[in-house]
Amino acid sequence: MSDSQRQGAKAEQHVKEILIRHGWRLLDQNWRCRYGEIDLLLTKKHSMHNRVLVVEVKARRHAGIDGWGAAAFHHTNRRCLARTVACWQADNPWSETSDFEVLLALVALPLPSRQVRWIRIESLNGAR
């Protein structure tokens, strides 16, 4: 495993711990299908419905031109994530009645900084 992969795994762990502290329950981590990977899938009961949170984690050492990784989540990546979410939903039919939310978690490295910028993604081209 490369240093950047280790840093990415630590960033995912950090984001997961934050969300679990806020009442989310982990469903899957690094779930893969032929279309791609979902970094984190979490759920939380909200009134009568389950909420499912899909989290894409981007970790960067420098803000750079991609704004800590925000620019790396462009149209092609969104379409790929939408297909991956659809695969996950097909494997988890119970989620049909769940409300889906997608977050981009931008993590500043090195991790002792503990800075995370959260961006809600409004649409994944057909993903719920």
Closest residue by Cα to residue 70 from 101, 103, 38, 40: 103
Q: How confident is the model at residue 20 (pLDDT cuts 50, 70, 90)?
A: very high
What are the E-state strand segments in the chain?
25-33, 36-46, 49-60, 99-108, 116-121
Give the pTM: 0.85
State the amino acid at position 108 in one-letter form.
A
pLDDT tens digits for range 98-126: 999 999 998 888 776 668 889 898 766 54
State the amino acid at position 15 in one-letter form.
V
pLDDT tens digits for range 32-90: 999 999 999 999 987 777 899 999 998 877 665 555 556 666 788 889 999 999 999 99
Give the CA count within 13 Å in the CB-facing half-sphere of 28: 18
| Architecture of the 3-121 domain | 3-Layer(aba) Sandwich (3.40)
Give the CA count within 13 Å in the CB-facing half-sphere of 10: 16
Closest residue by Cα to residue 52 from 89, 106, 15: 89
Is residue 58 within 8 A of residue 72, CB to CB? The reply is yes
Which is more confident, 19 or 126?
Answer: 19
Which is more confident, 28 or 96?
Answer: 28
Q: How confident is the model at residue 1 (pLDDT cuts 50, 70, 90)?
A: confident
Q: How confident is the model at residue 127 (pLDDT cuts 50, 70, 90)?
A: very low
Residues forming beta bridges with residue 119, ordered by sequence position: 104
**What are the boundaries of each domain within the chain?**
3-121
